[in-house]
A and B are shown apart, each in its own frame.
Chain A
Amino acid sequence: MSAEVKKTAEKQSFLAKPAVQSIIASLLCIIFGLLIGYIALLFINAKGANEAIITIIKNYFTYPSKAAALKYLGNTLVKAAPLLMCALSIQFCYQAGLFNIGAAGQYVAGAGASLFCALSLGLPWYVCLLAALLAGGVFGVIVGVLKAYLNVNEVISGIMLNWIGLYTVNMMLTGVKEVASPYTVSVANTNPSALLPSLGLSKFFSNNKYVTIAIPLAVLIAILLKVILSMTVFGYEIKATGIAKDAAKYSGMKEKRNIILTLFIGGALAGIGAAFLFLTGYEQWSVSQSSVPGMGFNGIAATFLGGLDPIGTIFASYFIQHITSGGAYLDKNIYPSQISDFISAIIIYLCGFVLFFKYFLNSRLKNKKNNAEGGNK
């Protein structure tokens, strides 16, 4: 009996590990999300549903040639990098007890600043990147100052700033839009020096010219954040402020300064994220858009799917982008073009249940334990 008990105890302690639970919960989200998406596809058109869901999961593997697959893997990565940056922005602030929903607006500010510097002022990429960092940071600081000194809820001020940012950027970039369309002129044609360097990375992706240093940089920044949070004095203070504001104050940490600094960093991360996309030339800004780009909001999902861990978030960001890109390959004659957004939205929605899954898992473990002991009595 005792050996048996010991065995179950060991098994439980493995399942009870927070990291293991996070991964399991995240995987469950993905499975359930795909399942619900599949059911939706069945409803729309039962015949093609199998093929459709496989297409979404396969994404670039749809292409038979290795070269083409690699090229489109590149495209997925190009869009995953800014998503990762937004996710990191939200995550970093979350560690300090702040919900940075303003990441969407900080992303917009970064896009506006980098494109303005690139197209209107003709500046090189590193200046554009710096401008994006500062613009996002300033947006963060505004929220931070309001929070620290006037106790304005960061969610409210963040959402308000999202819209202020959007229309300001639309106005700013009207001067550099194409004559016949609402889109900004191409960076590659107007000011090639503003394009992020590839440093030969594009060669690995069948000369996909959009693959730049943005991708490895985003991963490096994630690792850097992990280091800052777990190993530095600053991380120690940030987390203490996040989980025990009063104790942080008692120990003499400058909580107001920390709140502002945290939101500056959060804003800067989202701002850089925007530059990581727009300075590749992969997308152009539409000055007539009237909704805040989803990147910042999707970042919330990526960070929760990633178990609130910078490293986990790298994979989560990639995954979310993977299925979003995969959705684009569906047969548009059978399925409406929105279906890809729909499926990723479901998974993103389910990501909100990561905590629920963890709770469910824990209570199951507890019941199992109780039953096991009951049986032994």
Chain B
Amino acid sequence: MAENSEYAIEMLGITKRFPGIIANDNVTIQLKKGEIHALLGENGAGKSTLMSVLFGLYQAEEGVIKKDGKEVKINNPNDANDLGIGMVHQHFKLVQCFSVLDNIILGVETVKNGFLQKDVARKKIMELSEKYGLNVDPDAKIEDITVGMQQRTEILKMLYRDNEILIFDEPTAVLTPAEIDELMQIMKNLAKEGKSILFISHKLAEIMAVADRCSVLRRGKYIGTVNIAETNQEELSRMMIGRDVQLVASKEDKTPGEVILHVENMTVPSKLHHNNAVKNVSFDVREGEIVCIAGIDGNGQTELVYGLSGLENITSGKIELCGKDITRASIRERSTSGMSHIPEDRHKHGLVLDYSLAYNLVLQRYFEPEFSTKTGFLKKGEIRKYADKLIDQYDIRSSQGAVTIARSMSGGNQQKAIIAREVDKNPNLLIAVQPTRGLDVGAIEYIHRQLIAQRDAGHAVLLVSLELEEVMSISDRILVMYEGEIVGEFNPKETTPEELGLYMAGAKRKEVGA
């Protein structure tokens, strides 16, 4: 290895074009050895594309990549692997029907006489898992574990390969505050050991806490690189967005009105375990309030929403929407009686990825007389007109407008499309599950404004969030879930993140009457 360069990896003047869009326009990133280098930018700014170029998933049209000062060509992920570059992708690359262990060793299996030596691998994985506190069950199947655990598997995959250049693409989006702190510590330790880390994020606080330097992209263009010690959050966000943003959502006090959603002793079975994921839960959501379900990932929030939206049948209890019993109502009936649902997994549930944006925007309404004739034909003209209206109104950006295939859009704009669709239904109750997951400051600000606007219009909002900052800043009432039960109800003005943390971790609980 040549030691003459202070940079572990350099990407110089990278330009990558897609039809109708320049994803990277002459971008330069230089990663020093042993540093944590943050890459900051809004969704669609080109961070993921840049990393895909580095990882050999895309070929750049212009520019060079240097490793230790020597020019290299990365044609596919194997080349990147050979150079010691590892990456945790924003959307995980895991084999759903394989176990955690199988996924980690995939491609680098230890083999003796043609037989897999899983015990050796298991030992190493357990050691790494222990060392970094990445609590995973090596024998669990990916399809059965939570998004958070899947991400920890991805991180382990990289650690298992002893990579020296580690790319983290939005790694903290699904972790709990405590886990984020741990991850930050891990990253610092890794850097101390001489590994070079590229940390893609748009969470300014995290970048300030962990990074040494930060490079900023805006709309595919390279804006600059700053030393974290010499900057602050305001400057970073200005560089990223190009204007000042409000980091904390502001809202006026409002007295909640009538009960919109009434849940009584609801129990929802779990698909993964034999016990129930949601146990005997009761609560109300009133018009004009944002009720937030806080908790660590995997404590029954997903199943709670499945039960409410009808994706899963509840085993006992009662659900009322605007006074109407919807316990046994179909998903469609719930939707047409005024329930909107921004789902946790926008790729799995939220969008038909191979449909156009226009078709996705009418996913909840295509059967209405506005968009289909009595004889069962789609009114394509109306759908197009409606889509153009939403695209304009909600500022959904894509390369080809209404006919863009949803799959090709950036994560933030996919989420905007879902929000536009669900909010424009003018629902009595809006259920939003981690609506800001994996999004940048600009998009988060936008989504928070939409949720608050729904509340101010007198609708009920049920927000499920893993991010305490979000919970504290926009909710009117907080319910903490732990192991399938609601263990505490709080007024955000009278509590602290520390207190909530204790309840979220199960250290404390109080009886909550509905």
CB distance from B226 to the nearest CB of A (A): 32
A231 CB contacts on chain B under 8 angstroms: 377-378, 380
Bound complex: CA A135 to CA B467 (Å): 57
Taking a contact as CB atoms under 8 Å apart, the answer to whether A252 and B366 are in contact is: no
Contacts of A244 in B (CB 8 A): 348, 351-355
Q: Is B510's beta carbon under 8 Å from chain A? A: no
Q: Which of A232, A246, A253 meets B349, CB within 8 Å? A: A246
The complex places the Cα of A48 from the Cα of B310 at a distance, in Å, of 69
Within the complex, the shortest CB–CB distance from A235 to chain B, in Å, comes to 8
Whether B378 pairs with A233 at a CB distance below 8 angstroms is: yes
Contact pick for A252, options B59, B331, B350, B359, CB 8 Å: B331
A234 close to B (CB within 8 Å): yes
Which residues of chain A from 249 to 283 have a CB within 8 Å of any chain B CB?
249-254
Whole-angstrom distance between the Cβ of A248 and the nearest chain B Cβ? 7
Near A by CB (< 8 A), chain B positions 358-395 give 359, 363-364, 366-367, 372, 376-378, 380
Q: Which of A234, A250, A253 contacts B376 (CB 8 A)?
A: A234
B330 within 8 A of A: yes
User: Once the chains bind, are B330 and A252 in contact (CB under 8 Å)?
Assistant: yes
Given that A231-B377, A231-B380 are known contacts, is A370 also in contact with B59, CB under 8 Å in the complex?
Answer: yes
Q: Which residues of chain A are within 8 angstroms of B349 by Cβ–Cβ distance?
A: 246-247, 249-250
Is B86 among interface residues, defined by CB-CB distance under 8 A? no
Distance (whole angstroms) from the CB of B256 to the closest CB of chain A: 28
- A-chain residues with CB within 8 Å of residue B454 when the two chains form the complex: none
- Contact A250–B341 (Cβ < 8 Å): yes
Contact status B351-A233, CB under 8 Å: no
User: A4 on the interface (CB 8 Å rule)?
Assistant: no
B117 to chain A, nearest CB (A): 33
From A232, A247, A254, A377, B377 is in contact (CB under 8 Å) with: A232
- Interface residue from B330, B350, B364, B378 paired with A236 (Cβ < 8 Å): B378
Q: Which of A331-377 contact B (CB under 8 A)?
A: 370, 373, 377
With A240-B352, A247-B352 known to touch, is A232 a contact of B331 (CB < 8 Å)? no
- Which residues 47-87 in A have Cβ within 8 Å of B in the complex? none
A39 located at the interface, meaning its Cβ lies under 8 Å from any Cβ of chain B in the complex: no
* A236-B331 CB under 8 A given contacts A231-B377, A247-B351, A247-B352: no
**B334: which A residues are within 8 A, CB to CB?**
252
The answer to whether B354 touches A246, judged by C-beta atoms less than 8 angstroms apart, is no
Give CA–CA (A239, B351) in the complex, Å. 13
Closest chain B CB from A244 CB (angstroms) = 4
Choice from B61, B335, B348, B372 contacting A247 with Cβ under 8 Å: B348
How far apart sit A253 and B310, CA to CA, in the bound complex (Å)?
12
Q: Is B238 an interface residue (CB 8 A)?
A: no
Q: Is B332 engaged at the interface, CB distance under 8 Å to the other chain?
A: yes
B34 at the interface (CB under 8 A from A): no
In contact, A252 and B335 (Cβ under 8 angstroms): yes
Q: Which residues of B contact A249 (CB under 8 A)?
A: 311, 331, 349
B276 CB to closest chain A CB (Å) equals 21
Q: Do the beta carbons of B350 and A250 come within 8 Å of each other? A: yes
* Residues A233 and B366 in contact, CB atoms below 8 Å apart: yes
Contact B359 A246 (CB under 8 A): no
Q: Is B343 interfacial (CB-CB < 8 Å)?
A: yes
Q: How far, in whole Å, are A249 and B313 apart by their CA atoms in the complex?
A: 13
Known: A240-B355, A247-B351, A250-B311. A232 touches B376 (CB 8 A): yes
Across the interface, do B378 and A232 meet the contact criterion of CB distance under 8 Å? yes
**Measured between alpha carbons, how far is A240 from B367 in the docked complex, in Å?**
14
Q: Are A248 and B311 in contact (CB under 8 A)?
A: no
Most chain-A Cβ atoms within 10 A of its Cβ — which of B59, B335, B349?
B349
Q: How far is the CB of A230 from chain B (nearest CB, A)?
A: 9
| Proximity string of chain B (322-337) to chain A, C-beta cutoff 8 Å, 1 when within and 0 when not | 0000000011111100
| Distance of B43 from chain A, by nearest CB (Å) | 21
Indicate which residue in B330, B343, B353 contacts A250 across the interface (CB closer than 8 Å): B343
Q: From A252, which residue of chain B is reached at the shortest CB distance?
A: B332
B contact residues around A36 at 8 Å (CB): none
If the complex has contacts A236-B359, A243-B354, are A252 and B364 also in contact, measured as CB distance less than 8 A?
A: yes
Shortest beta-carbon distance from A324 to chain B in Å: 35
Report the Cα distance A231→B309, complex, angstroms: 29
Beta-carbon contact of B61 and A373 below 8 Å: yes
The residue of chain A having its C-beta at the shortest distance from the C-beta of B334 within the complex is A252
- CB pair A251–B354 under 8 Å, yes or no, is no
Shortest distance in angstroms between A9's beta carbon and chain B's nearest beta carbon?
10
| Residue in chain B with minimal CB distance to A376 | B61
Whole-angstrom distance between the alpha carbons of A234 and B375 in the complex? 10
Q: How far is the CB of A124 from chain B (nearest CB, A)?
A: 30
A243 touches B352 (CB 8 A): yes
Do B348 and A246 touch (CB < 8 A)? yes
Measured between beta carbons, the chain B residues less than 8 angstroms from A247 are 348-353, 363
Q: How far is the CB of B312 from chain A (nearest CB, A)?
A: 11
User: What's the nearest-Cβ distance from chain B to residue A221, in Å?
Assistant: 17
Residues from chain A with Cβ under 8 Å of B341 in the complex: 250
Q: Mark A218-248, 1 if CB is under 8 A from B, else 0.
A: 0000000000000111101001100110111
Residues of A within 8 A of B377 (CB): 231-233
CA distance A244 to B345 in the complex (A): 13
Which B residues lie within 8 Å of A254 (CB)? Answer: 330, 332
Nearest CB on B from A226, distance (A): 13
Decide if B359 touches A250 in the complex (CB within 8 Å). no
What's the minimum C-beta distance from B352 to chain A, rounded to whole angstroms?
4
A310 to B332, CA, bound (A): 31
| Nearest CB of chain B from residue A206's CB, rounded to whole Å | 41
Min CB–CB distance B73 → chain A (angstroms): 12
Which residues from chain A contact B350 at a C-beta distance below 8 Å?
A: 247, 250
Q: Which residues of B contact A232 (CB under 8 A)?
A: 376-378
Cross-interface CB contact of B367 among A233, A239, A250, cutoff 8 Å: A233
Which residues from chain B contact A233 at a C-beta distance below 8 Å?
366-367, 372, 376-378
Nearest Cβ distance between residue A265 and chain B, in whole angstroms?
14
Within the complex, the shortest CB–CB distance from A256 to chain B, in Å, comes to 11
Report A-chain residues with C-beta under 8 Å of the C-beta of B354: 243-244
Contacts of B364 in A (CB 8 A): 251-252
- B62 cross-chain contacts in A, Cβ below 8 A: 377
Provide the bound-state CA to CA distance between A249 and B348, in Å: 10
Residues in chain B near residue A253, CB distance under 8 A: 332
Q: In the complex, what distance in Å separates the CA atom of A251 from the CA atom of B353? A: 14
Question: In chain B, what residue has the closest Cβ to A241?
Answer: B352
CA distance A237 to B353 in the complex (A): 14
Per-position contact with A for B59-82: 1 when CB-CB < 8 Å, else 0? 101100000000000000000000
The 3 closest A-B pairs by CB, nearest first: A252-B332, A252-B331, A250-B349
Give 16 pairs: A residue, B residue, CB < 8 Å, sorted on A.
Answer: A232-B377, A233-B367, A233-B377, A234-B376, A236-B378, A239-B355, A243-B355, A244-B352, A244-B355, A247-B351, A247-B352, A250-B309, A250-B331, A251-B364, A252-B331, A253-B332
Besides A239-B355, A249-B331, A252-B333, 7 other A-B contacts (C-beta < 8 A): A234-B376, A246-B348, A247-B348, A247-B350, A247-B363, A249-B311, A251-B364
Interface of B with A (CB < 8 Å)? 59, 61-62, 309-311, 330-335, 341, 343, 348-355, 359, 363-364, 366-367, 372, 376-378, 380
